[in-house]
Amino acid sequence: MKIAVVNWRDPWHPQAGGAETFAWESARRFARAGHQVTYVTARAPGQRRSELVEGVRFVRMGGVFTVYPLVLAWLLLRRGRFDAVLDCQNGIPFFTPWVVRRRTRVVCVVHHVHDRQFGVHMPGWLAAFGRFLEGPVSRWSYRRHASVAVSPSTELAMRERLGWRGPVHVIPNGVSVVQPGPVEKSREPRLVCLGRLVAHKRLHLLLDAVAELREHHPDLTVDIIGRGPEEAALRARLPEGVTLHGYLPEEEKARVVARAWLHISASQGEGWGLSVLEAAALGVPTVAFDVDGLRDAVRPGETGWLLLEDGEPVQGLAKGIAAALDELDETYSVKCRAWADRFSWDHSAERLLALLRGDDPGADPAFGLSEGLADGLSEARAGDPGEVRSGGCAGDPGEVRSGGCAGDPALGWERP
C-alpha cells in the first residue's frame, strides 16, 4: 500500500514525545513490510523539508498551528496518491477525510483526550475552540472511519467525553529500551522521572515533594530526564538532591533509570504512559496518580502504585512515594519486566496494518484486554468506590492507592 502517516511532529523534533514514538515505530515497520510510507509533519528550525530515513519519506512543513492547513493542502493536491492514511490526533486531528478520496482508508489514532489540558496550554477562547475541534468536529469528521485508542481509559474518554460512536480499537504502544547491562542499584533511595518537560506533566509537584521526602530520607536523590518548554523554569527552582539531566542518549538514559528505586509520574493524564513501560522494562516500578492512561500502564500491587487525586497533591505525592519506598521489594522488579515484555511494536504495527487494509485486527492479548488486564482492572475497581484501590489490603480512603500491604521481609529483598 501507499500509506501517509500524518503526525504533528517527528521523533527528532525538539518537543517530540510518546505520540511521535508511536507514529515513527509504526511507520518504519510499515516500510519494512514493503509498503510505500510518507510521514507528513511539522518542520522545526534546522530540519530538512524532505529526507528518507529507513525507507520512510519525511515531508515537513509549517509550525505548531500552520502545519494543519498546510498538510491538508498538500494531501488535497495528492489525494489520488495514497491508499490509506494514519491520522494521529494530538489534541486536534488533521481532518484528513475532508481531502482524501472517499475510498481511501483513514484510521484516526487518539493518544488521549485533551479537553481538560487545553486550558493549561492556551488562553480561554483558544482552549474552547480546541475542545470544539476535538469533540463535535472530530466526531463528525471520522464517523465513517475506524479509530484507534492506545489504552482502555482513552477509549472510555472518547466515548464519554467526546461522544465517539464509531468503532474504536485499542492498540497499545510497544516498548523498546536499550538494556545497559549489569547496573548496580543506587545505595541511597533514588527516584527518576522520565518524559517531556511540559505543564501537564506537573513536575513542580515532585520538586515540591522532595523537601518533605528528604526529612525522612536525607540521602534521597532525584533524576529528571527529558526536555521541553518548562525546562528553564524547572532548573531555576531545583531543590537540593535533584538533577535535571535534559536529553540523554538512550544507553545513558537506561543506566540512570535502571539505578533508580522508583519511577515517578505526577502527570495530569496520559494516553498510556510510555515512560512507565520503559521504566518497567528496566525493572523500575512507578508511582503515579490514578488518571487516564496511567491507571492502565501501572498495575497496582505488581508494577507500581496509584495515588488518589484527593486533597493537597504535593502532600499526597510525598506520602505515596514514602509508602512505596517502605513497601518496595524485589518482586516489583520481576513483575515490571514481565509486564513490559507483553508489549511489542511489531505486534502493534501488524494490527494497525490490518486496519489500514480494512481488516479486523482483533483483540490484543498482549495488552490483556481479553485476559489479564481486563480482569485486573475490573478487580481493582470493584467494591466500594470510597475505598482504597489496593491489591488486597484494606486501608484508609485518604491513603495511597497502593498495590499491597507493607513489605514482607520474607520476600528477601534487601536495600543495598
Predicted pLDDT of residue 411: 28
243 assigned to some structural domain: yes
Same domain, 213 and 199: yes
Looking at the 3D structure of the chain, how many domains does it have?
A: 2
Domain of 108: which CATH number?
3.40.50.2000
Please tell me the predicted confidence (pLDDT) of residue 311. Answer: 78
Q: What is the predicted pLDDT for the residue at 231?
A: 93
Is there a domain that residue 111 lies in? yes
Answer yes or no: do 65 and 162 share one domain.
yes
Do 56 and 195 lie in one domain? The reply is: no
Q: What confidence tens digit (pLDDT) does each residue in 216-233 have?
A: 999 999 999 999 899 999
pLDDT at 149: 94
Same domain, 236 and 113: no
E-assigned strands of 135-241? Answer: 146-149, 168-170, 190-194, 221-225
Q: Rounded to whole angstroms, how far apart are CA atoms 290 and 387?
A: 14
Verify that 334 and 353 share a domain, yes or no: no
Mean pLDDT by 10 residues, the chain (416 residues): 96 88 97 98 96 98 93 95 95 92 95 71 77 88 94 92 90 90 91 92 95 94 94 94 94 96 93 92 96 92 91 92 95 96 94 94 61 37 31 32 32 32
pLDDT at 120: 62
Residues 228 and 159 in one domain: no
Render pLDDT for 66-111 as a digit per residue (tens, 0 to 9): 999 999 999 999 989 999 999 999 888 899 999 999 999 999 999 9
Q: Are residues 149 and 214 in the same domain?
A: no
Q: Where does 12-115 show beta strands of DSSP type E?
A: 36-41, 50-53, 56-60, 84-89, 105-110
Whether 414 is in a domain gets the answer no
Same domain, 142 and 281: no
319 and 350 together in one domain: no
Whether residues 121 and 242 fall in one domain: no
Distances from the Cα of 60 to the Cα of 2, 40, 94, 180, 228, angstroms: 18, 6, 14, 34, 20
For residue 277, what are the domain limits? 190-339+386-409
The span from the CA of 137 to the CA of 141, in Å, is 6
Instruction: Looking at the structure, tell me whether residues 333 and 348 fall in a common domain.
Output: no
Whether residues 149 and 85 share a domain: the answer is yes
Q: Please tell me the predicted confidence (pLDDT) of residue 44.
A: 94
- Per-position b or e across 100-121, b if 16+ CB within 10 A of its CB: beeebbbbbbbbbbbbbbbeee
